[in-house]
């Protein structure tokens, strides 16, 4: 990793794609979700919830890193969605991201799916 890039969100360390699959909003963050990039995911998640989305899936297949701020983005979205009668599902987590959820116990508060396809079918 380029140490000079740490803390510089402008270098494109995180991209977030948003798509709609039937009645499910799908978010695909690619890169590093941390203190400097968290808004790039939290803003579209919040916007979807505010717009009435009830089922949100975060496709973590391209998420390379997630720190405590990134985890808080996911937890906050879960709470907001649940308050509106919805849910946040996580799919296709890489081992490093899965480990963060496991260590913190957050893995038990989300519905986890092996693949995005599985998350969209269930």
| CA pair distance 48, 54, nearest whole angstrom | 8
Supply the pLDDT for residue 86: 96
Model pLDDT for residues 80-119, shown as the tens digit of each residue: 999 999 999 999 999 999 999 999 999 999 999 999 999 9
Residues 6+ apart with CB under 8 A from 67: 33, 34, 35, 100
Instruction: Please write the tens of the pLDDT for every residue from 1-10.
Output: 343 444 444 4
Q: Is the pLDDT reported for residue 122 higher than 90?
A: no
Q: Which residues of 85-108 are buried (b: 16+ CB within 10 A; e: fewer)?
A: ebebbbbbbeeebbebbeeeebee
Q: Read off the pTM.
A: 0.90
Residue 76, exposed/middle/buried by CB under 10 A (0-12, 13-18, 19+)? middle
């Amino acid at each position: 990793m380029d140490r000079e890039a740490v803390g510089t969100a402008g270098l494109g360390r995180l991209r977030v794609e948003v798509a709609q699959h039937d009645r499910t909003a799908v978010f695909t963050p690619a890169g590093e979700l941390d203190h400097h990039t968290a808004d790039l995911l939290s803003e579209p998640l919040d916007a979807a919830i505010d717009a009435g989305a009830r089922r949100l899936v975060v496709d973590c297949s391209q998420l390379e890193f997630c720190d405590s701020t990134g985890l808080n983005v996911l937890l906050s979205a879960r709470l907001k969605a649940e308050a509106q009668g919805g849910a946040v599902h996580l799919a296709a987590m890489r081992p490093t991201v899965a480990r963060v959820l496991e260590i913190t116990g957050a893995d038990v508060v989300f519905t986890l799916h092996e693949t995005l396809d599985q998350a969209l079918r269930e």
